[in-house]
Amino acid sequence: MARDLAEASDVTRADVAIVGAGYAGMAAAVALAERGIAVSVYEAGPVPGGRARRVTSRGRSLDNGQHLLVGAYRELLALMRTVGVPETAVLRMPLELRYARGFALRALPLPAPFGLLGGLLFARGLPLTERLGAVRFMRALRA
């Protein structure tokens, strides 16, 4: 069938199927659509979003996508702008991490990387040696 389509004179572009409606699949679909390529997106789950979709647990709705925002914040915001999501759709607050055993870190409202550095200095449930180790790790990453 592929040979028949390639030989047809009226075929001017390829149709692409994207499997998965998570961030990666949707980013691929947007990039292809911007180039004029027809795209169909298929998702096996009950709603789009992949690992970043909202989930309900014990009667509470939870936003499961924050871990992706941390890792790809600029790129995700650019993608959202491209598809017309208003800037006000994302509540921007300093990074905050809390765990059940008493660990809590909240970045200070300072320019990067000082906000995270300040958050590490004041983190609860983290020994000083581990705080300093995290700062050394961040410096090594920047290098």
59 inside domain? no
Return the pLDDT at 101. Answer: 77
Q: How many domains does the chain have?
A: 1
109 inside domain? yes
66 inside domain? no
- pTM (2 decimals)? 0.54
Residue-wise pLDDT tens digits, 46-92: 888 887 777 777 787 777 766 666 666 778 888 889 999 898 887 77
Sort 62 into a burial class: Cβ within 10 Å, 0-12 / 13-18 / 19+: exposed
Confidence bin at 143 (pLDDT 50/70/90): confident
Q: What is the DSSP letter of 87?
A: G
78 inside domain? no
Residue-wise pLDDT tens digits, 102-128: 889 899 988 888 898 899 889 999 888
26 inside domain? no
32 inside domain? no
8 inside domain? no
- Structural domain including 116 reads 94-143
| Type of residue numbered 93 | M
Query: Are β-strands 60-63 and 16-19 bridged in parallel, bridged antiparallel, or unpaired?
Result: unpaired
Query: Are β-strands 96-98 and 104-106 bridged in parallel, bridged antiparallel, or unpaired?
Result: antiparallel
45 inside domain? no
